[in-house]
């Protein structure tokens, strides 16, 4: 049976790291999914040059319910050619927005919910029929999922959904032998801040290594662990979050943790 690994959000940041590092598992095909075809083609060449893995570029907008259905149509097309199994699904596609909610573009905020929550949910549901015992799902949540954050309200809420969904899904899929891991990183050196701030903050402040973050997530996934937080300070923040009043946490971050946006 054909073995496939699927990575969404594979055109940049941690998505690129996931694609490169999972290629060593030697699937029959590695599907890299994102909108930016030129970047995917460059990544395909790089991976195939270094590995025996065949890489398939899936360039499409997977945002929202319609986006998830677009990827499902690719699954159905593959099924028509013969049986296949998704050995690893990485739901990494997503973005955030900086700034006070009242001052941000509400359409952009809704687009974030569509991609970070609706798309992830739909793609997971459409992929599950092709997953078997030993299969793994990695969902990119965030350290922001543990507490409401001012100036980051919708993103934190979206990632809280991803974390809650991942934990419940892990419980449901354990009897089937499918592991679910929630990746909950703090600041990582990617283009996240540039997108979230519309260019006002070109780089993530105090960003840590995306390669090490992804490496830890893959190892955690292989071991069947529920959470992945590579660095000690992230683990301490997650551990401490239940002891902080949620409203006070949101007020404090709104007051003192300003996030610029154009």
Rounded to whole angstroms, the Cα distance separating 77 from 208 reads 39
Domain contains 198: yes
Percent with pLDDT over 70 in the chain: 93
Does residue 252 register a pLDDT over 90? no
Note the pLDDT of residue 194: 67
Domain contains 261: no
Tokens matching residue 93? 């596609």
Does residue 256 register a pLDDT over 90? no
Note the pLDDT of residue 76: 97
Domain contains 262: no
CATH of the domain at 237: 3.40.50.720
Number of domains in the chain: 1
Note the pLDDT of residue 245: 92
Confidence class for position 29, pLDDT limits 50, 70, 90: very high
Does residue 262 register a pLDDT over 80? no
pLDDT tens readout for residues 101-154? 999 999 999 999 999 999 999 999 999 999 999 999 999 999 999 999 999 999
Does residue 26 register a pLDDT over 70? yes
Note the pLDDT of residue 129: 97
Domain contains 42: yes
Which residue out of 130, 155, 161, 227 is catalytically annotated? 155
- Asked if 155 is an active-site residue, the reply is yes
Note the pLDDT of residue 73: 98
Note the pLDDT of residue 190: 78
Domain contains 104: yes
Q: List the domain range (segments joined by +) for residue 130.
A: 2-256
Confidence class for position 197, pLDDT limits 50, 70, 90: low
Rounded to whole angstroms, the Cα distance separating 242 from 246 reads 8
SS3 track for the chain? CEEEEEEECCCCHHHHHHHHHHHHHCCCEEEEEECCHHHHHHHHHHHHHHCCCEEEEEECCCCHHHHHHHHHHHHHHHHHHCCEEEEEEEECCCCCCCCCHHHCCHHHHHHHHHHHHHHHHHHHHHHHHHCCCCCEEEEECCHHHHCCCCCCHHHHHHHHHHHHHHHHHHHHHHHHCCEEEEECCCCECCCHHHHHCCCCCCCCCCCECHHHHHHHHHHHHHCCCCEECCCHHHHHHHHHHHHCCHHHHHHHHHHHCCCCCC
Rounded to whole angstroms, the Cα distance separating 165 from 196 reads 24
pLDDT tens readout for residues 36-87? 999 999 999 999 998 889 999 999 999 999 999 999 999 999 999 999 999 9
Confidence class for position 200, pLDDT limits 50, 70, 90: low
Note the pLDDT of residue 199: 66
């Amino acid at each position: 049976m054909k073995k496939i690994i699927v990575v969404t959000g594979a055109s940049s940041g941690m998505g690129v790291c996931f694609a490169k590092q999972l290629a060593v598992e030697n699937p029959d095909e590695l599907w890299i999914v994102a909108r930016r075809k030129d970047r995917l083609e460059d990544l395909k060449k790089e991976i195939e040059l270094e590995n025996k893995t065949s890489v398939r570029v899936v360039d499409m907008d997977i945002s929202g319910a319609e986006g998830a259905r677009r990827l499902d149509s690719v699954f159905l097309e593959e099924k028509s050619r013969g049986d296949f199994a998704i050995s690893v699904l990485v739901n990494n596609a997503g973005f955030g927005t900086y700034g006070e909610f009242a001052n941000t573009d509400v359409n952009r905020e809704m687009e974030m919910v569509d991609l970070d929550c609706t798309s992830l949910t739909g793609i997971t549901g459409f992929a599950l029929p092709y997953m078997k015992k030993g299969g793994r799902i990695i969902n990119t949540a965030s350290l922001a999922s543990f507490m409401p954050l001012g100036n980051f309200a919708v993103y934190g809420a979206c990632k809280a959904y991803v974390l809650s969904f991942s934990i419940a899904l892990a419980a449901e899929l354990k009897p089937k032998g499918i592991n679910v891991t929630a990746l909950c990183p703090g600041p990582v050196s990617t283009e996240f801040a540039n997108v979230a701030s519309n260019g006002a903050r070109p780089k993530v402040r105090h960003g840590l290594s995306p390669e090490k973050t992804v490496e830890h997530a893959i190892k955690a996934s292989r071991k069947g662990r529920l959470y992945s937080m590579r660095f000690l300070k992230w683990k301490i923040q997650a551990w401490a979050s239940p002891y902080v009043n949620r409203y006070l946490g949101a007020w404090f971050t709104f007051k003192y943790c300003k996030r610029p946006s154009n």
